[in-house]
Structure 1
Amino acid sequence: MIFMLFALAIAALFFVGSLILLRLGQHLGLRHRKQNGAEGNAGLATVEGAIFGLMGLLLAFTISGALQRFDDRRQLVIQEATAATTAYDRLRLFEGDDAHRLQSSLKEYVRARIDLYRMAHDFLLFQRAEEFSDQQENKLLELKNQLWDAALAACPQPNFRPACGLSVPALNSLFEVARLRAGAAEKHPPQIIYFMLFGLGLGCSLLAGFGMAANAGAVGYIECCLRVL
């Protein structure tokens, strides 16, 4: 919730700052035209093209990276579901009550994993990591240890050795994918990218206002927006 409010505050600050810089750019543009005439804006188009082009490239790469990270997380969700299904099927190789007990423990672990992501969680700005419920994470760790210890406890019995050779690696794969998901949640662009996007966005607003100074309709639109605020 705190991160959502912070994001909304940044968006509102950027919107208001853009309109203010548009107005400032328009004022500077009008003053420049009065001093130097229309010929003074000869090289402005080149500068605008370079700045707006850089802004477009940076924004495109940022969005592309976000989509790639989203796709990676979605693939990890599928991998964890597949690993859980495989482990559940292989635990059936244990006979009698051991198989039922191990499968029940696996169900509780998977249900706790689902509940962890369904619970409301926040994002820590300075640690750049998702903040989950400590109680639920401790419960997950306890269920994981119980499941692993129960599987290992069944392995010393001679008639269960073939089952262990298939079940233990499957459980290990399940726990490994869970760790990969936790690591993927902390993959974000460097903070300098966000500062560059914010600064370039405001700079583009200033340049846009400066270039639109010669257009009376554009000036009127800027003034209308500022009156609304």
Structure 2
Amino acid sequence: MDLGIKGKTALITASSGGMGRNIAHALAAEGVNVVLFARSADKLQAVTEEIEAQHGVEAIAVPGNMLVRDDVERLAATLRQNGGGPDIVVLNTARPPNPIRATLEENDEARWKEAYENQLWGTIQVVTHVIPLMLDRGWGRIIAITSASVKQPMPHHSLSTVFRAGVTAYMKHLSNEVGASGITVNCVAPALIDTSHRSDGAAYSAEQTAARKKLTPLGRLGTQQETTGVVTFLASMQAGFVNGATIPVEGGMVGSLL
């Protein structure tokens, strides 16, 4: 299927590794040029070179921190200089602090502050500086990566749930405000996704992984490709009437009808 996005430009945040890197590869495979934004300059440059070699698209590395205003302003300036602005924005963020804990054990103010800044404030800061570049283009896609815990809170995930729920609410408001400019805004809410590929080690122990497999009727963990496929579809022409939605990618874990 031709998704109609070949030649467009996508910004992907937190894209030097993990989910962000995989999303960048998935969009590049559809012929999308990518601008990658993350803190690690060396890793980011390696990903851009890898994408250009594998997919033959333009990839630009912009090292920076979503929490640093000067870095985000530099990102916006780079986007403005390269085509006037992005067509697609994927808002990926760093993971909440590890190890995960029960809610009443989350009594460390520094962990709450880190989770707030990484999950919510960084997202808001990028949106504030980048999305105005899209408003006069007549077409756009904004996709935030959240978590299925915003629909069904999972044990020991309060740091993730609280602020990603905030991102979900923020994106819903944004979808109502920028829709008239031809821009859709949606969230992808994954859970139970395999992290064994991570170079810094899996996020869950063997015991936690076995327990997580039992949370879905499918009896297995999801793959990175199953998540990036949903993101790529939401970035497509065919997804033009999907707006203000949260699409779960969690194998049927969430028990609600809606």
Q: Which bin holds the TM-score, normalised by the shorter protein? A: under 0.3
TM-score (norm 2): 0.24
Say which structure is richer in strand: 2
